[in-house]
Amino acid sequence: MRCNRANCPDSISKPCWLHGAAGGGRPFGVDLFGYLLSEIGLGEAARLLVGALDAAAIPNRLINFPLVGRQAESLLARRIVDHGGHALALTVSGAMDIPAFASRACRGQENIHYTYWELPSVPGGWRQMFDGFDSYWAPTTFVRDMLMSVQKRPVHLVPQPVLLPAAPPAVSRSGGPLRVLTLFDYDSYLVRKNPHGAVAAFLAAFPVGTEDVELVIKARGRGPSNGRDTISRLAKRDRRVRLIDRTIPRNELDALTESCDVFMSLHRSEGFSLGCAEALALGKAVVATDFGGTRDFVTQETGFPVRFQPVLVGADDYPGAEGSHWAEPDIEHAAATLRSIYDDPSSVAPKARAGYALLKRNNSLQAVGARIRDLIDG
């Protein structure tokens, strides 16, 4: 009998579960499957999980799932192998990709899916697909609650790792304008990322004539031309708005985040939001819709949550929208928040210190690595 469910070495009898090898003979450790060479958010999430495994000294092998045209990250290229060999297989992807990855899963391993999803529910017709994995790990309580409500497999909260500076960052304003940064990927559904809301809040907070402010819009991805044209027109209307529309190396993105004073995400939903977490780790004021995965770390104590109204997701706005909802951020509240930071920049420092402490406790490579080791040792 042939076995095409995994890239196993030739030395393993296939299918292994008919040869008494299922679950036996494989050493302790993790085979991690994901978009490990891609510059997309899911790729960075997977690379950071590798960092957590390394921090906990958990043996691992890395198997890349290629994305044509999106293979710009080479950090782990030398560690990529063709097949795994450990007792546990961890797959990192969005919920929509579960069937594709489950079809590759090997029955001779314990198969865990690290799930990203941006809505509080999934359509009823999707629920059977969750049977393809043995259990699920969730990066946020938002995703955990979704997984627990739509399927019966075990679910564990394993926070998304975040790279942190060795010490809490110094929080101080530069002598230049108050710089607000918002970023998004056209391929991640413009209506969900809602950069138009960020522009509207900025313009409402700082009418023309307020010259010591700047909004930087960092975009990338292909996406529909009409969405790109709209953002471009918005940027051209006000010389205080700067648009960077291209993929840039990781070190340049880090430098861009470091150069800002405020990171703003007026998303309608997020599974996690690595951009918000990385900005918080660098001591920035994080202004974010108080909905989705950001609620785990953008709180009144650590940042500037923005009020919202729940609204139904439009049928054409996002896959799996059937009967689900997300957030419509309160633009007036966001504008007032930006203005309060402008008027009282000293309000940022205590929140930034609390945010760094929270991320170190829950999301550092060491904390997440210890969480993973506890789960797989148990």
CB within 8 Å of 128: residues ≥ 6 apart: none
Residue by residue, DSSP assigns 43-82 as: HHHHHHHHHHHHHTT--EEEEE---TT-----TTGGGB-S
pLDDT of residue 12: 62
pTM of the model: 0.92
Dump pLDDT digits (tens) for 171-190: 866 667 999 999 998 887 89
115 shares a domain with 52: yes
Q: What is the CATH number of the domain that holds 354?
A: 3.40.50.2000
pLDDT of residue 235: 82
pLDDT of residue 165: 93
pLDDT of residue 2: 42
CA nearest to 104, candidates 132, 138, 79, 67: 132
pLDDT of residue 225: 63
Domain total in the chain: 2
Q: What is the CATH number of the domain that holds 148?
A: 3.40.50.11930
Regions of the chain short of the pLDDT cut 50: 1-2, 4, 6, 22
pLDDT of residue 74: 82
244 shares a domain with 129: no
| Distance of alpha carbon 227 from alpha carbon 97, whole angstroms | 25
310 shares a domain with 184: yes
Question: Partners of 264 in the beta sheet?
Answer: 287
340 shares a domain with 191: yes
Domain assignment of residue 102, given as a range: 16-161+364-377
| Distance of alpha carbon 47 from alpha carbon 136, whole angstroms | 18
| Position 169 in a domain | no
pLDDT of residue 221: 80
Q: 99: helix, coil or strand?
A: helix
